[in-house]
Chains A and B, each alone.
Chain A
Amino acid sequence: MTALLPVAILLSSLIPAGVTFFLAQDSHRLRNTLSLGGATVKLALIVVMLVAVGQGASYEARLNLAPGLYLLLRIDALSLLFMTLSAVLWLLTTVYAIAYFGTKAELSRFFGFFSLCVGATTGLAMAGSLITFFLFFELLTLSTWPLVVHKQDAKSLAAGRSYLTFALPGSAALLLAIVWLESATGPVLFTEPPDLSVMPDSHLRIIFALFIAGLGVKAALVPLHGWLPGAMAAPAPVSALLHAVAVVKAGAFGIVRLVYDVFGIASVQDLGLGTPLALLASVTILWGSVRALQQGEIKKRLAFSTVSQVSYIVLGAALAGPYAAIGGLAHLVHQGLMKITLFFCAGIFDERAGAKRIEDLNGLGARMPVTSVCFSLGALGMIGLPPMAGFVSKVYLGLGGLQAGAPWVLGVLAASTLLNAAYFLPLLYRLWFLPAADAATGDERAPLLVAPAAITALASLAVGVFAASALSPLGWATLIVTREYLP
């Protein structure tokens, strides 16, 4: 049983993926049943697991590949946090995607890769060793590409090419780093920190840099973020998933794993790597925001916002100290909820009202009130206004920065808040205050599109309002940090 459940969770998305590829284009019902069924089963299995882990059960599944090379699925609190997020958001995104695409062409391919993509994310969350992590990391890279180029127009193909141009060298760097490290220390399990003393410090620093380069591509750390804005050419559900849970989160999650479970926070500090990483994250936070300010296209603006926001997580990991760690981990969930809301809404604006650029938002608030409210909630959360989720993350990150003796973090957070306000508030102003163009049309009579957005918007409000509750992401992150990272 303890080995079966993780495998079953993985299969709950891999099997639908495999079957969906071979479905005829017009068997919509079967395909939707498969996708939704897979998502629901996975969520149910995760709930079962949550309960069992709460009662002290532990899960482990292992598949030997070659000596020193094996797949290990292991569940810890951090895995559960990420898994639960991805499972919940996947279910919502599936509903949204089904409503979004209707009966368009090439859907079997789309939903097949869509399921594969989430399977990879789940695997990534459950990975118990570095090499397992790498395996799912790559699976994610590959299964995302067909989603990015789904529309198959010139823009999508260019985006796909740019994605691979960044991602594959990133993977190569990651593989080099992993193999280099493991060649000296043996296979690295996340439960047992490797003995780093067998390598000279200079090698460790290079390895760390390679790791960051590899993971940083996915986490869209500046200057490796170039692929992300282009990836906006993908359909809205893909963007939503990409930005909230799948790709960029995988990178951020990887960096968290790297800092805490591979190197260990003490080694990172001893090697003098924490501050450079925190600085890199800070630069990313600010640069992403500045670039977002310049964008006239809604989805592009959101994309650069992701660049900025995901680095909050990296910043939390880079600063040594429990507060920062809590803030970063909580933001993993918070950013996911808020950003997926924004992308859901952007998709609805685009699909139902043809609004692609920010000017097109003028006056939409009156015609699409629910969507606009959701969008506003997401945007306010991104700015970090209380009581939205983003505020909670920011408080903890700021405290963490001070705790780690890096008060400049406050400046970064402050500047980021101002920039976020500068690029989000005008959107809200347009939505609610400016008059609509004469020929404007649009409505939100698409409950299956609006409902997921409403759910995630309310969730991102609720996790802020009930942050002190033990069940909130913050409570969870606190648990993880106290249990795993504090001696």
Chain B
Amino acid sequence: MTLWTGPFLPLAVLIWPLLLGLSVVLPIVRPHSLRLLLLAPAPALWLALRGADGASTAPELFLGVELSLEPASRLLLGMVAGLWLAAGVFAQSMAGGRNLEVFTGFWCLTLTGNLGVFLAGDVITFYLAFATVSLAAWFLVVHSRTDEALRAGKIYIVLAVVGEVCLLAGFLIGVQAADSFLIADMRAALAEAPLRGLAVGLLITGFGIKAGMVPLHVWLPLAHPAAPVAASAVLSGAIVKAGLVGLWLFMPPGAFGAGLMALGMAGAFGAALWGLTQVNPKAILAYSTVSQMGVMVALVGSGTAAQAVAFYAVHHGLAKGALFLSVGAVAVSGGRARLVMLMAAGLAALSVAGLPLTGGGGVKAAVKLGQSDLLALLITATGVTTTLIMGWFLWRLAQAEVSGTHARVYERLPVVALTLAAVGVPWIVWPQALAATPDYALSGRAIADAIWPPVIAGATALVALFLRLGPDTRPPGDLLRLLVFSAPAIWTQPRAAFSLDPARLVAFVTVAVARLVAVEHVLLRWRWSGLGILGVVVALVFLMD
């Protein structure tokens, strides 16, 4: 009986947080459970810095576990571990709250899954990690147990389960085609498989849900703001990346590329614009995440090297983490500390907007290399909407109510650290991550390219201010509000919805028809419906080959 082969460190990366998470059942650990958050990501950080020498396997576990660390995954592993650590530091501010041992347990479990996604070398381990991160994160979303959080949690769990199911089906098609559980074999086999179209569709749905890809993003703007600040940071910065990594690990090269680009760009622009209708800073950030993930999805669709996408994702994770934490930090800071926090948030926001010389500017320049002119132009153009939404976020953040004036160091430190990391880390890892040198990003042309979107955005904002065109405020939830919130409460009243009593059936059909009519009306006046139709057409074309 072989327990494992190869280096033990990758296994330890996963086992360690799992053990910490389980340890909260011990009465002796419970009162100090929050402290565990600081320890949990340590082995992962170490592994990311050091790199793995060879694959590790645990042949008797599950259906044979295989762990390996690709360069792109290593980038993300490091970012994710760092972000979890920073968020863990910030989470210390929750001390004294309710249900902290449950929070800690599931925090560690979510972390395990999150890390596992980057380490998995076989499909089953990947699926297990993916399911773990998806489902355990639900506990982070609903931690506050407010009505809003529970409602967001319902939407979240429904979509998460649907995503799991789609993924499993897609994986099975791939595994059967490859007759192997290894991810690399499966990706190769999937390109030739008879059910390729179906598998690709299922995988895109499954990963798209997690990555917040339009139109599967509906849970994200609800769930991310509902969670406690520290959890929001990891949700938006780290956990969504699980979907992204899935896309590049499993999609056969070129599959549904145009479709992914279209959907990605729809998200990149649309979500950022819709974000302008939000008032809650966290909701604005959530829409910004959808928007940024859209860019990354489009990059995957265009066939960009995994490492370049990972590079972009590293920056986004760090910056988004900093921004979310800043929401929490600003709320409890007064006086000069508040100013410092706002400045940090501002720097992170500028970096996300892609200001030259910031990390964001760097990664944007890096991913545009080698893209078609149109895509490069579009990516540049997202800078306009991103700048607008970031500006709007800063504005709302500055106006946020102050609930305390004594921000403690573990609330301020992570914000600053993550901001600095977002600005600096891309430049540090660039030489190792990418083939092209950073010089390109510092060239005049690149800087000029990066300057004009913020300028346009600024001009737009000024015009809007001048005309007193404030954004229309809406509750979060866009599409979902139409489709689910008004739909019959299947979730809470299964009997009513599924009974075969003829009278009820008739009533159900009547109501369903009425709903469809309502949706129809909305689709008619909805601004981007044309894009939706285009997406469907593209999807069909690609599924038919």
A residues near B, CB below 8 A? 290, 293-294, 296, 323, 383, 385-387, 392, 394-395, 398-399, 402-403, 407, 410-411, 413-414, 417-418, 421-423, 425-426, 433, 464-469, 474
Given A293-B494, A422-B494, A407 and B63 contact (CB-CB distance below 8 Å): no
Given A386-B127, A399-B176, A407-B173, A468 and B168 contact (CB-CB distance below 8 Å): no
Known: A394-B168, A418-B165. 7 other contacts (CB 8 A): A293-B494, A386-B128, A422-B494, A433-B150, A465-B61, A467-B62, A468-B64
Contact A417 B498 (CB under 8 A): no
Contact A398 B168 (CB under 8 A): yes
What is the CA–CA distance of A395 and B125 in the complex, to the nearest angstrom?
Answer: 13
Given A294-B495, A386-B128, A394-B168, A410 and B63 contact (CB-CB distance below 8 Å): no
Specify which chain B residues have a CB less than 8 angstroms from the CB of A387 in the assembled complex: 62, 128
Specify which chain B residues have a CB less than 8 angstroms from the CB of A423 in the assembled complex: 494
Contact A414 B166 (CB under 8 A): yes
Specify which chain B residues have a CB less than 8 angstroms from the CB of A425 in the assembled complex: 157, 161
Q: Closest CB of chain A to B508's CB: distance in Å?
A: 13
Most chain A CB neighbours (cut-off 10 Å) among B128, B172, B494, B495: B172
What is the CA–CA distance of A294 and B135 in the complex, to the nearest angstrom?
Answer: 24
| 6 pairs, CB–CB < 8 Å, chain A vs chain B | A385-B135, A392-B62, A395-B63, A398-B168, A398-B169, A417-B165
Given A392-B63, A422-B494, A386 and B172 contact (CB-CB distance below 8 Å): no
What is the CA–CA distance of A399 and B59 in the complex, to the nearest angstrom?
Answer: 20
Chain B, Cβ-Cβ closest to A369 = B25
What is the CA–CA distance of A328 and B336 in the complex, to the nearest angstrom?
Answer: 66
What is the CA–CA distance of A310 and B161 in the complex, to the nearest angstrom?
Answer: 22
Q: Closest CB of chain B to A236's CB: distance in Å?
A: 24
Contact A407 B1 (CB under 8 A): no
Chain A, Cβ-Cβ closest to B128 = A386
Contact A421 B166 (CB under 8 A): no
Most chain B CB neighbours (cut-off 10 Å) among A323, A403, A414: A414
Specify which chain A residues have a CB less than 8 angstroms from the CB of B162 in the assembled complex: 418
- B466 CB–A CB distance under 8 Å: no
Contact A433 B128 (CB under 8 A): no
Specify which chain A residues have a CB less than 8 angstroms from the CB of B494 in the assembled complex: 293-294, 422-423, 426
What is the CA–CA distance of A394 and B128 in the complex, to the nearest angstrom?
Answer: 13
- B164 CB–A CB distance under 8 Å: yes
What is the CA–CA distance of A417 and B164 in the complex, to the nearest angstrom?
Answer: 9
Specify which chain A residues have a CB less than 8 angstroms from the CB of B63 in the assembled complex: 392, 395, 467-468, 474
Specify which chain A residues have a CB less than 8 angstroms from the CB of B61 in the assembled complex: 465-466, 468
Contact A414 B62 (CB under 8 A): no
Sort A-B residue pairs by CB-CB distance and give the 6 closest, nearest first: A402-B176, A398-B172, A386-B128, A469-B60, A410-B169, A414-B165
Chain A, Cβ-Cβ closest to B142 = A433
Given A294-B495, A433-B150, A469-B60, A418 and B169 contact (CB-CB distance below 8 Å): no
Contact A385 B131 (CB under 8 A): yes
Contact A386 B157 (CB under 8 A): no
The listed residue (B142, B168, B195, B495) touching A407 by CB distance below 8 A is B195
- B175 CB–A CB distance under 8 Å: yes
Q: Closest CB of chain A to B503's CB: distance in Å?
A: 16
Q: Closest CB of chain A to B320's CB: distance in Å?
A: 28
Chain B, Cβ-Cβ closest to A435 = B145
Contact B60 A395 (CB under 8 A): no
- B124 CB–A CB distance under 8 Å: yes
- B403 CB–A CB distance under 8 Å: no
Specify which chain B residues have a CB less than 8 angstroms from the CB of A465 in the assembled complex: 61-62
The listed residue (A395, A407, A417, A433) touching B124 by CB distance below 8 A is A395
Chain B, Cβ-Cβ closest to A413 = B169
- B526 CB–A CB distance under 8 Å: no
What is the CA–CA distance of A387 and B169 in the complex, to the nearest angstrom?
Answer: 16
Contact B131 A386 (CB under 8 A): yes
Q: Closest CB of chain B to A486's CB: distance in Å?
A: 15
Q: Closest CB of chain B to A94's CB: distance in Å?
A: 29
What is the CA–CA distance of A487 and B62 in the complex, to the nearest angstrom?
Answer: 27
Contact A399 B62 (CB under 8 A): no
What is the CA–CA distance of A290 and B175 in the complex, to the nearest angstrom?
Answer: 29
The listed residue (B150, B164, B172, B491) touching A399 by CB distance below 8 A is B172
Chain A, Cβ-Cβ closest to B135 = A385
Specify which chain B residues have a CB less than 8 angstroms from the CB of A323 in the assembled complex: 176
Given A294-B499, A296-B495, A386-B62, A410 and B135 contact (CB-CB distance below 8 Å): no
